[in-house]
Amino acid sequence: AAARLDVQAMSASVGQSGEAAFDLELKLLLEAIFERYHCDFRGYAMSSLRRRLRQAMDRFGVASLSLLQDRVLHDAHALPILLDYLTVQVSEMFRDPTHFLALRRDVLPILATYPSLKIWIAGCSTGEELYSMAILLEEEQLLDRAILYATDVNDEALRKAEAGVYALDRVAGFSESYAKAGGKNSLSDWYTAAYGSVVFDRRLRRNVVFSDHSLATDGDFTQTHLVLCRNVLIYFDRELQDRAIALFEQSLVPRGFLALGSKENLRVSSHAPAFDTFDRRERIYRKRRMSNVE
């Protein structure tokens, strides 16, 4: 019995040692990516990174993160592939439709009082949220006087967003959410279907600026009236979340709006005092007139 306990203890110790080595290699990999390519993922949540980097090891066919690091440092073509694992490219049009209904019903009428609008979609991924917002603005006759900044750290995701092409089998879900979000027509009015895909109308991106941007290292977009950053902060650690919210505060005009994801809020941020809660259920906040936090 004592021998069995010793073996179990040794196995547990080896397992803990292996996890510690993996985490050390993970931190070294992130440092290497930052130094070599100036892409900063050091503030991303470790639990999520562990899972996704194990998937990346399978994709690259390597047995350790040290070998993955060697591959990324010496093969520039490896980084775009790895970015698909380091950044979460999961999005849907009108995801959480009650959120977009609240934007349509409660936020856009206020924004309509401005002569022109700037909207920042931070972490736009492959563009589903961008086109959702553009359709909302067009249907409320606001798109012509709006500029939308669609940003992401992943260049390949930005190219897909700019193309506006999505698999046809996703459209039924898009259409259902569009209707629940108060859509005024049929979603099919906004795209053309061919060869198993749909292409969204180029008119929807006529006032869109696509830009590579990292919430970890880059600055703000000044004088914006609405910032959408939904389901991005959940992948950041507390420090990086606080940095991102600071950027949003600096970017927004007084009384501008910040829209977060359903599992995100400002409660733990040191910048929370800069905002009022506009819609608690839908995670929509409004910047105060005097918002500087000492």
For residue 12, give both structure tokens: 């547990």
CB 163 within 8 A of CB 197: no
**pLDDT score at 294:** 40
Closest CA to 152 of 118, 125, 133, 127: 125
| C-alpha to C-alpha distances, 119 to 59, 126, 223, 251, 294, nearest whole angstrom | 36, 17, 9, 10, 26
| CB of 111 closer than 8 Å to CB of 143 | no
Cβ neighbours of residue 261 under 8 Å, at least 6 residues apart?
Answer: 96, 229, 230, 231, 232, 233, 234, 283
User: Which amino acid, one-letter code, is at 146?
Assistant: A
H or E stretch at 242: helix 238-251
Supply 84's token pair.
Answer: 């698909």
Share of the chain above pLDDT 90, in %: 76
Segment 242-246 mean pLDDT: 95
- Strand ranges inside 182-264, DSSP E: 191-194, 197-200, 208-212, 224-229, 252-260
pLDDT digits (tens, 9 = 90+) for 159-200: 999 999 999 999 999 999 999 999 999 999 999 999 999 999
What pLDDT score was predicted for residue 129?
A: 96
Whole-model pTM: value is 0.84
| Nearest residue to 102 (alpha-carbon basis) of 176, 185, 180, 174 | 180
Q: Are 68 and 149 in contact (CB under 8 A)?
A: no
Name the pLDDT band for 1 (thresholds 50, 70, 90).
low
For residues 115 and 145, the answer to whether their CB atoms sit within 8 Å is yes
273 vs 1, 242, 277, CA distance in Å?
59, 12, 10
What is the average per-residue pLDDT within 37-53? 88
Per-residue pLDDT, averaged over 66-75, amounts to 94
pLDDT given for residue 3 in this prediction: 57
Chain-wide mean pLDDT for the chain? 91
Residue with tokens 């600071």: 246
Tell me the C-alpha to C-alpha distance, in Å, between residue 84 and each of 15, 88, 171, 282, 291.
Answer: 28, 7, 23, 28, 36
Given a contact cutoff of 8 angstroms between Cβ atoms, the answer to whether 235 and 260 are in contact is no
Q: What confidence tier does 16 reach under pLDDT thresholds 50, 70, 90? A: low
